[in-house]
Amino acid sequence: MQIRIRSGGHDYEGLSYISENPFVIVDMRNIRSISIDTEGKTAWVQVGATLGQLYYTIALKSKTLAFTAGVCPTVGVGGHFSGGGYGMMSRKHAIAADNVIDAKLINANGQVLDRDSMGEDLFWAIRGGGGTSFGIVLAFKVKLVIVPETVTVFNVSRTLEQNATQLVHKWQYIADRVDENLLLRLFLRSVRSPTNGNRTIRASFTTLFLGRVHDLLPIMQEKFPELALKEQDCIEMSWIESTLFFAGLRNESLHVLLSRTPQTGIYFKGKSDYVRQPISIQGLRRIWRFLNEEDENRAGLQFSPYGGVLNTLSESETPFPHRSGNIFMIHYGISWTKDGSTESERHINWIRRFYTFMAPYVSKYPRAAYYNYRDLDIGRNNEENTSYKQASVWGFKYFKNNFNRLVRVKNQVDPSNFFRNEQSIPPLS
Ligand code: FDA
């Protein structure tokens, strides 16, 4: 029997709760207590906690402490920290895994280890080397980050008729270079134009600035005047309120962060890429055409800027290797509601064609991908004896050269491959 470990259950391919082989689920959802040490600026977080619960609990204790991790409050700490954890403060405070300073893990022999007893190699591997492969993580100890009492957010949208192509083009030249307190994330969707009813692309610049609006406006004026950001587009709020804003829950009370109910009734496929050279205007126009092939409001791209502190960490600091040289990460997503294999096939074929079409615009050798946006299309292990060769197909994309070190650690701590799934790190033989 295989062991499937589930914390928040948000794995894109459902690897925490489905398998073609006989399996049992180790469900961590009730192991979710959080203790905050405001003096030491640290927290112990059990893996069944959600990001929303973590943010809420920190905010109960302090207005100026926070944590750097993803946007969706129902995502689980267990899978998210194990695979990286990019969020709206990542240009300033890196990703969740970079801020893990201790952990508790059950290994394949059933021993409970902490950082001291597991040793630095295994501790390195579980901070971004992906869930499942090395054992069951029970809890992570993290460094909290300091945020100002007031931060500024905005979400400004422009369609093609409002110059979106030129704006997206210019964005690529500033997004990874601006002040690291500023993270301008870009969401692109094919929608119907409010003016003429035709299909168009809507580019939404969704932004967090770790500071006040009067400090933000001069930066935007200097670096990105084309967006014509106005003071009235910006809203000042606390960091915890900004987590609601980015989750699309702005008018809800903070308690909504404790809900574990994810969006239901939606079928979804996601993929990822890294961009190292700006895409030309002509390239962007070809991308818009591809987006417009899909049903309105169903297909979306997220461009998440890198740079800032992510540039200062080496590729081998943690297994997450996406550091200097990346301008932004692309997240491709397509969602649909109708059941049925023909409908699913149509959308999945579309996103696969899109991914093939994007090859000239994105990173090469390897074509890098983000582990937390799990995608079995980029390769999977053999059913029984996972070979190094087979796993290298997807392994170098997620981890670059860190893949080899992950294999060595796996060899040391779980040579019989007790913990495995379709994209787990294989031992050498
Ligand atoms: P889940 O429980 O499904 O686990 C994911 C993987 O980790 C599985 O292989 C599982 O077996 C393993 N695992 C889980 N718990 C473990 C444990 N305790 N010990 C060992 N292995 C364990 N990412 C991001 O970086 N930024 C973002 O903003 C978002 N936003 C987002 C929104 C939505 C709606 C979804 C569905 C996903 C995201 N993600 C994301 C991706 C997310 O980070 C990724 O899916 C995480 O793996 C989810 O962690 P869960 O614990 O919820 O998943």
Q: Tell me how far the alpha carbon of residue 376 lies from the centroid of ligand 1, in angstroms.
A: 15
At residue 239, what is the residue type? W
- Threshold 0.95, pTM exceeds: yes
In the chain, the percentage of residues whose pLDDT exceeds 90 is 92
DSSP secondary structure letter of residue 147 = -
pLDDT at 194: 81
Residue 37: inside a domain: no
pLDDT at 409: 98
Residue 7: inside a domain: no
DSSP 11-56: -TT-TTT--SS-EEEEE-TT---EEEETTTTEEEEETTSBHHHHHH
Count CA atoms closer than 13 A to 207's CA, side-chain side. Answer: 33
pLDDT at 262: 79
The residues that are catalytic are 373
* Inter-residue contact 42 to 143 (CB < 8 Å): yes
Residue 385 has pLDDT above 80, yes or no: no
pLDDT in tens, 282-322: 999 999 999 999 988 889 999 999 999 999 999 999 999 99
pLDDT in tens, 102-128: 999 999 999 999 999 999 999 999 999
Q: Indicate which atom in ligand 1 lies nearest the CA of residue 14.
A: 3
Q: What is the mean pLDDT of the chain?
A: 96
pLDDT at 128: 98
Q: Tell me how far the alpha carbon of residue 167 lies from the centroid of ligand 1, in angstroms.
A: 32
pLDDT in tens, 158-176: 999 999 999 999 999 999 9
pLDDT at 264: 73
- Quickly tell me which residue has 């007790």 as its tokens: 418
pLDDT in tens, 175-192: 999 999 999 999 999 999
Q: Which of 24, 133, 9 is nearest to 77 (CA)?
A: 9
Cβ of 136 below 6 Å from ligand 1: yes
Phi first, then psi, for residue 224 (nearest 5°) are -145, 55
Q: At what angle do helices 164-174 and 281-293 cross, to 10 degrees?
A: 120
* Inter-residue contact 134 to 52 (CB < 8 Å): no
pLDDT at 232: 98
Cβ of 363 below 6 Å from ligand 1: no
pLDDT at 296: 84
Instruction: Look up residue 165 and give its two tokens.
Output: 């192509």
Q: Which residues contact 23 (CB under 8 A, 6 or more apart)?
A: 1, 2, 3, 4
Q: Indicate which atom in ligand 1 lies nearest the CA of residue 263.
A: 34
At residue 189, what is the residue type? R
Cβ of 333 below 6 Å from ligand 1: no
pLDDT in tens, 43-72: 999 999 999 999 999 999 999 999 999 999
* Inter-residue contact 167 to 226 (CB < 8 Å): yes
Pairing of the two strands 65-66 and 100-106? unpaired
Q: Indicate which atom in ligand 1 lies nearest the CA of residue 135.
A: 20
| Positive/negative CA dihedral, 419, 73, 297, 302 | negative
> Per-residue confidence at 16, pLDDT binned at 50, 70, 90?
very high
Phi first, then psi, for residue 273 (nearest 5°) are -155, 165
Number of domains forming the structure of the chain: 1
* Inter-residue contact 33 to 56 (CB < 8 Å): no
Average pLDDT over residues 194-199: 87
Cβ of 87 below 6 Å from ligand 1: yes
Show contacts of 282-285: CB within 8 Å, 24+ apart: 283/360, 283/361, 284/165, 284/168, 284/169, 285/165
Q: Tell me how far the alpha carbon of residue 75 lies from the centroid of ligand 1, in angstroms.
A: 6
DSSP 221-244: HHH-GGG---GGG-EEE-HHHHHH
Residue 385: inside a domain: no
Phi first, then psi, for residue 409 (nearest 5°) are -65, -45
Q: Tell me how far the alpha carbon of residue 131 lies from the centroid of ligand 1, in angstroms.
A: 8
pLDDT at 382: 85
Q: Which residues contact 246 (CB under 8 A, 6 or more apart)?
A: 71, 88, 153, 206, 208
> Per-residue confidence at 341, pLDDT binned at 50, 70, 90?
confident
Burial class of residue 348 in the structure, from the number of CB atoms within 10 Å of its CB (0-12 exposed, 13-18 middle, 19+ buried): middle
Residue 263 has pLDDT above 80, yes or no: no
pLDDT at 104: 98
pLDDT at 23: 95
pLDDT at 120: 98
At residue 367, what is the residue type? R
Average pLDDT over residues 73-99: 98
In the chain, the percentage of residues whose pLDDT exceeds 70 is 100
CATH number reported for the structural domain that contains residue 213 in this entry:
3.40.462.20
Domain span at 187: 151-238+263-361
Residue 119: inside a domain: no
pLDDT in tens, 95-108: 999 999 999 999 99
Q: Which residues contact 364 (CB under 8 A, 6 or more apart)?
A: none
pLDDT in tens, 351-371: 999 999 999 999 999 999 999
* Strands of 97-255, DSSP E: 100-106, 112-113, 136-143, 145-146, 151-159, 182-192, 199-209, 235-237
